[in-house]
Structure 1
Amino acid sequence: MTRKHPQTSPLSRPSRRAVLGGAAFAAFTAAAGAGTARAGGHRPAWPAEFPLPDGWLPEGIAIGRAPYAYLGSRADGAILRTDLRTGKGTVLHQGTPGLAAIGLKIGHDGLLYVADGGGGTARVVDARTGGLRRTHQLTESTGQFINDVVLLRDRAWFTDSRGAVLYGVPRGRGGTVRELPLTGDWEQVPDVINANGIVSTPDGRDVIVVKSTPGELYRVSLRTGRATRIALAGAENVVNGDGLVRVGRTLYVVQNRLNLVTVFDLDARATTATLRRSITDPRFDVPATAARFRDRLYLVNARFTSPQTPETTFTAVAVPL
């Protein structure tokens, strides 16, 4: 597949303004305007929208402590690294025909943990060099779909959208993969996307998983696998829930085909999620996952409802938290 790599672009404002309303909109447009005052002079603001290679077929995005976004490709499992300060991207990790990179997270160890989708595997990639460190075979069963990942203590926990199970991959050199069946309130729905996005709970003990169909949130015990449905207050469901981002006790749920990010306040035990607000933006085109950097939420437009060809264009966009 021939790809056109993104060029450095002096994007100083979004190509289409976000309709966010009130003070949040005013603050964002000021930040994404022609320049931002700094001691000793002015410099261009970071772009609030940047292109990805044509035909990239993106879905996952990860951002660590440095201002770089890592974006996986569903086309062949390649990984793109984009400088958030300029919007310029380069291919960090070359793809392989038949492979995919779905969800991914970056750890403080400088390693990327990548969910490989239908291949049933998880990869560990060096975020500095792009080199492949390890590949873990999570399931030998056909028809499974390794979708997203969260890093929590000594393991990377992966969801399987076709199976009622989480997989815990050791983050060190030793150890074995732990298979954690989901029990309790969890009921697997056949022939649809079940477990999708995953984040840690505010207390750092367990994880929160979104079930895309019928649109539910669960707290899952990493000790027992017991899943407890999180009560939603002010929202009927989170159907099409995809990527999750948690900042303190604020949970951001990307609802991909609705072009919506729903923002909830979690209670102390993460058993109730109360709707705070929703984020919409005319630049959204079926956003799949999101990652936070400073006061922005970066989302990748997967464009699932558009033709998925080598010529299809893709972008990532930023909205204020």
Structure 2
Amino acid sequence: MTRARKEQVCLEATPYYHCIFRCVRRAFLCGDDKFSGQNFDHRKQWVVDKITELSSVFAIEVCAYAVMSNHYHLVLKVSKEEVEILSDYDVALRWKQFFNGHTMVDRWLTDKVTSQAEKDKALEMIQVWRARLYDLGWYMRCLNESIAVQANKEDNCKGRFWEGRFKSQALLDETALLACMAYVDLNPIRAAISDAPENSDFTSIQARLNTLAKAKHNQKAQPNKLLPFMGYQPHSKVQKGLPFKLIDYFKLVEWTGRCIREDKRGAIPAHIKPLFERFHVNEQDWLETIKQFNRHFIDAAGSPENMTKWAVCTNRKWCATHRTLKLYKNAEYC
């Protein structure tokens, strides 16, 4: 049975979510259409450009992305606290960047309200917008509607471009977040579209590597459109950025990409050991997790303890298979 989105997103449990959306009938509407002979790769750039634009308005930051020919992956962080400290004025201006707004709010913004009732109504509407600025459903709606309209206009047709609902997975701990990001960034390699992360077009790993390559004298340079890697910040009340080091993530993706390919089953490089030891991850179970990430984890991913908390938070009786829990136990996830 399909669950309401509010039962799948629980910000008290985690701010991180993996979202997947497919083209209708899984058609290659963003790649090579073998029937018409047309190539639609330029539409992948539409998705990348739109998520950058949306993240400047919504309090939802992009951790990782991969835009494929018939679907895309996003790993997002919902920053509710960012919206909570915004003034009513700033919330209204943000919302109006994408939507027409409301007459009463427009009057309030220009000091034309004539009564307390009008002011109360305007502020009530702004609070609704405030909640939407960290709403995953509204974010995805703005993204998908925009791409669908552009594609239908280009094709001179009407009808659905995307399937009905996007799939979302809650990433309940740092290990689940790390595994999911690596899974997303390696999508083109797993699909035999590219042979290396730096050649994987329309992915976050390529964007990060390109930024680093251009900033030759700054080994910590990161793209503005992506949530930066900051490393673990134990003395900070709020974790700013991703709780991993950039170079460790690059090494992990490279090593994982080589190991899951049939023609490159090599020994585990010595330099990757510190990261695995730090996260208490068993190498073989890590590879199995990456290979079958979507099969093992449906609505949420995390340790058995976090999965149990998630089930309570979202009113579920269960949310993991016996195999999933055994995998986490064997991998000694923290």
Return the TM-score normalized by structure 2: 0.26
Which structure carries more strand by proportion? 1
Greater C-alpha radius of gyration: 2
**TM-score of the two chains, using structure 1 as the length reference:** 0.26
- Which structure would you say has the larger RCO, counting Cα contacts within 8 Å and 6 or more residues apart? 2
Identify the structure with the greater helix proportion.
2
